[in-house]
């Protein structure tokens, strides 16, 4: 009975030893036989977080950091960025004891962000900085604006002046869109003319072209003053002048026109002038009524660099006849009245001057059936047709605005004679 008791103790001893040895084998004692895990929070893969018994141990809540690149637990020896450890590259370190760690182990679910998902890692995805930004897209400043829209091809040459919208018969007949003012003081006092008044636009965009206008025999500049505001309202400077005496002949009036032109040019550089820096120095014309018209033909003949010439019932019979117009190359428009006496501006004086000007020169003769010698002091003559054709001609040849040519291609109303080389 006593032997059996002792034998029973021996059996219990053997059983205890066997259990201890089994536990040691299960817990991975020996270190070189298999991959030893570091702390469970650093392990990735399907078995991450498993205790020594193969069952998930009870653990605390996982860390709260989530999203791309969040790491779980200590980083020593752990792959980052969601990359899988290569086979055979097991982390090294001391084997854990048989007791499973309790504080760092996550729950049985794989740690978020550490296990690859099969999709490209977040670091390989395009970021916002790689996408086109607003600065790479066209901005409003690169788009044409209304004020930059070009005028139609062929309608305005380089250096020409094209103002406002497309003209109409009404717009070219009426006063223009710009305000105007005038002055007589401060001008260069030229020796060959008696005085002058400068009419200029106040709110048009410079530079401005300019025209000098001379009155007829015994007349003063007040007889033609209505032309000043009309031209200025369309963006063109107009200067009316007096001659040194009201009885000056035709051959003195061309000198008066060209001397006054020098005074106008000087306004571009005179400090304090309303036209300081505002004149186009290569766009000038001359004009005149009666003997002033005769002086206009002579001035145009002597000064081919002029851009335009306009005569109103021009007189040349006391100045040697039509030879005053021989060889003129300056574009010229001539207005005449069918009822004008030959002693003044009638008797086909304008027709003969027209014939003396080469056909290669742009020229128009417009004789109005009901007009006489004293019809030319205002652009309102013949229902405004006088002003319409005068302005259209200056817009085309003085300023270079081809949009107005259309008005010159139609015979004027009430014409007793219409001749033109303008196409």
Known catalytic residues are 290, 340, 373
Report d(CA 323, CA 349) in Å as an integer.
11
- Cis upstream peptide for 133 (omega within 30°): no
Contact 413, 390 (CB under 8 A): no
Bridge partners (DSSP) of residue 418 are: 366
Of 409, 199, 193, 213, nearest to 293 by C-alpha is: 213
- Write out the H or E segment, with its range, that includes residue 366: strand 363-368
Q: Got the DSSP string for 262-302?
A: HHHHHHTTSTT-TTTT-EEEEEEEEEEETHHHHHHHHHHHH
Instruction: State the DSSP code for 177.
Output: S
Report d(CA 182, CA 201) in Å as an integer.
9
- Token pair, residue 252, equals 């003195």
10 Å CB burial of residue 355 (0-12, 13-18, 19+) is middle
* Total residues found in the chain within this entry: 423
The residue written with tokens 């145009």 in the block is: 300
The residue written with tokens 């018209």 in the block is: 293
Contact 285, 398 (CB under 8 A): yes
10 Å CB burial of residue 363 (0-12, 13-18, 19+) is buried
Contact 396, 408 (CB under 8 A): yes
- Taking the C-alpha atoms of 277, 278, 283 and 285 in order, what is their torsion angle to the nearest 10 degrees? -110
């Amino acid at each position: 009975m006593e032997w059996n008791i002792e034998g029973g103790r021996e059996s219990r001893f053997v059983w205890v030893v066997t259990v201890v040895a089994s536990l040691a084998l299960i817990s991975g004692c020996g270190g070189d036989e298999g991959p030893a895990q570091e702390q469970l929070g650093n392990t990735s893969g399907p078995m991450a977080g498993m205790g020594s018994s193969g069952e998930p141990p009870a653990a605390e809540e996982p860390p709260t950091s989530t999203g791309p690149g969040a790491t779980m637990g200590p980083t020593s020896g752990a792959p980052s960025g969601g990359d899988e450890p290569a086979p055979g590259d097991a982390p090294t370190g001391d084997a854990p004891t048989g007791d499973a760690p309790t504080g760092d182990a996550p729950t049985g679910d794989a740690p978020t962000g550490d296990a690859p998902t099969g999709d490209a890692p977040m670091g390989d995805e395009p970021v916002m900085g790689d996408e086109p930004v607003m600065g790479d897209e066209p901005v409003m400043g690169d788009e044409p604006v209304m004020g930059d829209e070009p005028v139609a091809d062929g309608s305005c040459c380089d250096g020409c002046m094209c103002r406002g919208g497309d003209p109409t018969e009404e717009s070219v007949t009426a006063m223009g869109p710009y305000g105007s003012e005038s002055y007589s003081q401060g001008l260069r006092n030229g020796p060959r003319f008696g005085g002058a008044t400068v009419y200029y636009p106040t709110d048009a965009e410079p530079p401005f072209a300019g025209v000098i206008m001379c009155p007829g025999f015994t007349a003063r500049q007040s007889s033609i003053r209505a032309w000043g505001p009309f031209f200025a309202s369309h963006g063109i400077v107009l200067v009316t002048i007096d001659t040194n005496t009201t009885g000056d002949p035709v051959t003195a009036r061309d000198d008066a026109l060209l001397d006054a032109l020098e005074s106008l040019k000087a306004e571009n550089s005179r400090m304090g002038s309303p036209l300081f820096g505002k004149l186009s120095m290569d766009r000038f014309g001359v004009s005149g009524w009666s003997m002033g018209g005769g002086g206009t033909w002579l001035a145009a003949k002597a000064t081919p660099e002029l851009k335009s010439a306009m005569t109103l019932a021009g007189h040349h019979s006391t100045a040697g006849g039509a030879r005053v117009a021989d060889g003129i190359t300056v574009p010229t428009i001539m207005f005449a009245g069918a009822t004008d006496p030959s002693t003044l501006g009638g008797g086909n004086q304008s027709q003969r001057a027209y014939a003396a000007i080469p056909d290669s020169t742009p020229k128009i003769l417009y004789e109005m059936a009901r007009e006489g010698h004293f019809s030319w002091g205002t652009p309102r003559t013949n229902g405004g047709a006088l002003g319409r054709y005068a302005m259209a001609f200056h817009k085309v040849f003085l300023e270079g605005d081809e949009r107005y040519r259309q008005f010159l291609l139609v015979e004027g109303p009430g014409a007793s004679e219409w001749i033109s080389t303008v196409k």
